[in-house]
Structure 1
Amino acid sequence: MKLDKIRQDIRGLSDGKIFLNNAGSSLMPSIVVDSMIDYVELEEQVGGYEVANVNAEVLEEFYDETAKLINCKSSNIAFATSATDAYAKALSSIIFKEGDVIITTVDDYISNQIVFISLQKKLNVKVIRTKNLSDNELDLEDLENLIKEYNPKLIAVTHIPTNSGLIQNVEAVGKICKQYDVLYLVDACQSVGQMVVDVEKIGCDFLTATGRKFMRGPRGTGFLYVSDKVLDQNYAPLLLDMRGANWTEFDDYELFKTAKRFEHWEISYASLMGLMQATKYANAVGMKNIEDYNKKLSQKLRRNLKNIGFKVWDQGNNLSSIVTFCGPDGDLENIQKVLKNNNIFFSVTYKNSALIDFTNKNINGIVRLSPHYFNTIEEIEKVSEILKNSL
């Protein structure tokens, strides 16, 4: 990777900040921002319809670049306004009945847990969470036993939780789902853009992602992957519009063939343009290059924090670029103050966002640093030294 060029492409680094909140909302490359500004300025002059028509081929590149990113076909990709939007549309395409079972994990994202509970309250769907092993990895034997016992309608797993560095074994889960022919939904909100994500290897039916995190795209963007199997079985969101189907009879419609049936007709095309450019940028750098470098950064940071004396809360055999920690006595406030005073960008996660995980860890919150491929080893060392001096 040409790190100097990558950093030059980020105007947001010009004020000397150290940006380590990529798991929240990352810094966009200049081409992403410029493409969106140009698009909106053209809309100002000739209107949105005309601009969309003129840029139709370029906008279509979003589907090609995203397909390249996760190893599928462009027909499997739908644009979404967020990962949550994509997740809700995937769930709404599944006709849940009273007594149906969803199996998920204790480490699934807060919004996913809430929507499962909502389905439980409104439709009497049963939600069951798999066990974790002593090393915090998924208990795959328990998952298989639960499938045999409950014959679930859906298995849902978050690839990387927002509240820890854990990378869950989504590929192994996919093999079990295939064996028992169970629908499989993966939340890849924190993994897409950070590491190689291959839907063929994962074997999922749905996969959701956001643009604003490690993809380095604009807020208000994301995408949904839908497998050929699901498309062929005519799954579609509960609330369709003319983007999803052709009105063929007074009281009937015909679904369109591709995953675009999961979109709505009215979207921000400037935002789609921005996410396309962000995806194209990541593909050009190369996801394997990004993943390998991110591992070096996060391993260095995690090791430094432990050596200094901070309590690092990332547990698992395979850890990501999300590094979670607190002071030796559980302190968060002093760490936040020191980071803010030194122009270091970070985030904090509290217990209400990771209720099960933080209850099991007996903590109320963590500071989260999430380096990405535009960061340098020198920045990691500088942050480590600043935190060391704060103790």
Structure 2
Amino acid sequence: METHTELVEGEIDLKYSLAERVKTLTPSSTLAITAKAKELKASGIDVIGLGAGEPDYNTPENILKAAAESMEAGFTKYTPAGGLPELKNAIIAKLERDQKLTYKPSEIMVGVGAKHVLYTLFQVILNPSDEVIIPIPYWVSYPEQVKLAGGTPVFIEGTKEQEYKVTAEQIRSAITEKTRALIINSPSNPTGMIYSEEELKQIADVCKEADIWVISDEIYEKLVYNNAKHVSIAQLSDDAKERTLIINGVSKSHSMTGWRIGYIAGDETIVKAMTDLASHSTSNPVTTSQYAAIEAYNGPQDAVEEMRRAFESRLKEIYPKVAAIPGFNVLRPQGAFYLLPEVREAAEKTGYTSVDDFAQALLEEANVAVIPGSGFGSPDTIRLSYATSLDLIEKAVKRIDEFVKTKWQD
């Protein structure tokens, strides 16, 4: 192996220096907890994880079968960079069926998961110092992807009193001449909250006034509860549709997180630029996964509804138990599969100076892995996923409750 001579002070080892763009990245706050949880499990300790960001169901059988049949038929080669025409047509049919929105194939681009689609989108719409408005709490990758594209995240907070949603007036106040886009995630990760049609109308009006893009992350659209309704901001008017860039995929709706298929529906010029960029990065989405996604959208949807009902049932069980834990203050979500309790009081009453330390202690002493809210811009909270069995959920909540009550100091 090559050895390295010692550098003179002030010199830079160019071979091992990193690009400035990655030096700005904030490490994920979940990594330490995740690594520790794996370490404890490997040593035989019964750790219960409530950090999952994916359904605990296998991909439906009809989708597995379609994928296998595609491989057996020899469909294992390159496809167009922006996705198979058949998959684009399936997405178009889905958008017409579910949102009553009409798109052309040239307005659809398929990528390697919704995360890759978002990354590619920011790369093609942002120039250095362009701003993107991001509501807090946010999904962890939004600000990092904006920074990687040379943009600047601008944060506005949706407080608990606002059900963790931001208002049109907050958005208006945050807009500057550098504002390029606003991100809306409904249902939200990590809050599970949903923007109403009236709230979206007010937001659409502000975005029209400022002439900015709306990036509408709708990946959890199928997971809504208590008769709640998902509305896409693109449905509200012709103008709203023209300025909205819908991001979605099969990961959450069809339990296909590992298949990595997501898509954008929106402006033709942006979609073409994204497709051109993808042709130089990924070449194309995984061919087998595309055939699986065609079946996901064109085939029976019974499994989607079955999974939704199961999550709703779990929510009914877990919510009152979490709400009853001393020092936990939690809103009942309307969608996704997360709870985001504010636990600052519980952390302080049990002797911890930060919620991150409290979450670490839950793992090490109560053997329950949760995600600190600091990674979502919400440092007084923790995220609990109920995308696991009801039995494990109940055991985990009981452990947390006992941990808090045992350590509580008035």
Same fold (TM > 0.5): yes
What amino acid maps onto 1:240 in structure 2?
Answer: D
Query: Does the 8 Å contact 2:222/2:304 carry over to 1?
Result: no
Query: Is 1:237 the counterpart of 2:263 in the alignment?
Result: no
Deviation at 1:265, TM superposition (A): 5.6
Out of 314-323 and 273-282, give the one that drifted further. 314-323
For the residues of structure 1 that align with 2:252 and 2:192, how far apart are their CA atoms?
A: 15
Cα offset, 1:88, TM superposition: 2.0
Query: Tell me, which stretches of 5 or more residues in structure 1 are unaligned?
Result: 1-17, 245-262, 341-345, 372-378
Q: Say which SS state the counterpart of residue 89 (structure 1) adopts.
A: helix
Q: Do the aligned partners of 1:221 and 1:272 also contact (CA within 8 Å) in 2?
A: no
Offset, 1:324: 4.1
Maintained 8 Å contact 1:165/1:315: no
Report what 2:262 is aligned to: 223
Deviation at residue 240 of structure 1 after TM alignment: 0.8
CA contact (8 A) 1:217 1:278 kept: no
Q: Which moved more, 1:136-145 or 1:199-208?
A: 199-208
Does the C-alpha gap of structure 1 residues 334 and 152 become closer, same or farther in structure 2, counting only changes over 3 Å? closer
Q: Deviation per CA, 1:25-55: give whole Å up to 9, x if none.
A: 5421122222222322333xxx635999xxx
Q: How does 1:1-391 map to 2 (within 5 A)?
A: 23-27=53-57, 28-43=59-74, 48=76, 59=87, 62-67=90-95, 68-73=97-102, 75=104, 76-94=107-125, 96-119=126-149, 122=150, 125-133=151-159, 135=161, 136-147=164-175, 149-150=176-177, 152-168=179-195, 171-172=200-201, 173-189=203-219, 191-195=220-224, 197-199=230-232, 200-201=234-235, 203=240, 205-227=244-266, 230-231=267-268, 236-237=272-273, 240=276, 266-280=284-298, 283-284=301-302, 294-295=311-312, 297-307=314-324, 309=325, 312=328, 314-315=330-331, 318=334, 320-324=336-340, 329=350, 332=359, 348-351=370-373, 353-354=375-376, 356-358=377-379, 361=380, 365-370=382-387, 380=390, 383-384=393-394, 387-388=397-398, 391=402
Contact 1:105–1:130 (Cα < 8 Å) also in 2:
yes
Q: Deviations over 1:291-334 (max 9, x none)?
A: 67754542442113223x26656448856431245788476578
Contact 2:254 2:296 in 1 (8 A): yes
Q: Which one is further off, 211-220 or 331-340?
A: 331-340
Q: CA deviation at 1:83?
A: 1.1
Query: Which residue identity is paired with 1:369?
Result: Y
Change (3 A) 1:382 1:241: closer
Task: Give the residue type in structure 1 aligned to 2:166.
Answer: L
For the structure 1 residues 278 and 366, does the alpha-carbon distance in structure 2 shift closer, same or farther, using more than 3 Å as the test?
Answer: same
Alpha-carbon offset, residue 270 of structure 1 = 1.2
Cα deviation, residue 90, structure 1: 2.0
| Residue in 2 that maps onto 1:259 | none
Cα 1:366/1:92, change in 2 over 3 Å? closer
Name the Cα RMSD after superposition. 4.3
Q: Name stretches of at least 5 consecutive residues in structure 2 with no aligned partner.
A: 1-47, 403-410
Distance 2:378 2:206 in 1: 24
Q: Scaled by the length of structure 2, what TM-score is found? A: 0.62
| Separation in structure 2 between the aligned mates of residue 179 and residue 60 of structure 1, nearest angstrom | 32
Does the 8 A contact of 2:338 with 2:385 survive in 1?
yes
Kindly, what percent of the aligned residue pairs are identical? 7
Query: How far 1:185 moved relative to its partner?
Result: 0.7
CA distance in 1, matches of 2:294, 2:50: 23
* Cα deviation, residue 351, structure 1: 5.0
Q: For 2:146 and 2:78, how far apart are their aligned partners in 1?
A: 41
Which AA in structure 1 matches 2:398? K
Amino acid in the other structure paired with 2:385: R
What whole-Å deviation, never above 9, does each CA across 1:152-177 have from its counterpart, x for those lacking one?
A: 22112333443333335672433432
- Contact kept, 8 Å, 2:359 with 2:371, in 1: the verdict is no
User: Which letter maps to 1:66?
Assistant: K
Query: How many corresponding residue pairs?
Result: 321
The answer as to whether partners of 1:347 and 1:368 remain within 8 angstroms in 2 is no
C-alpha deviations, 1:325-382, integer Å up to 9, x for none? 5788476578769999xxxxx973235632x212xx1x5x5442237xxxxxxx6478
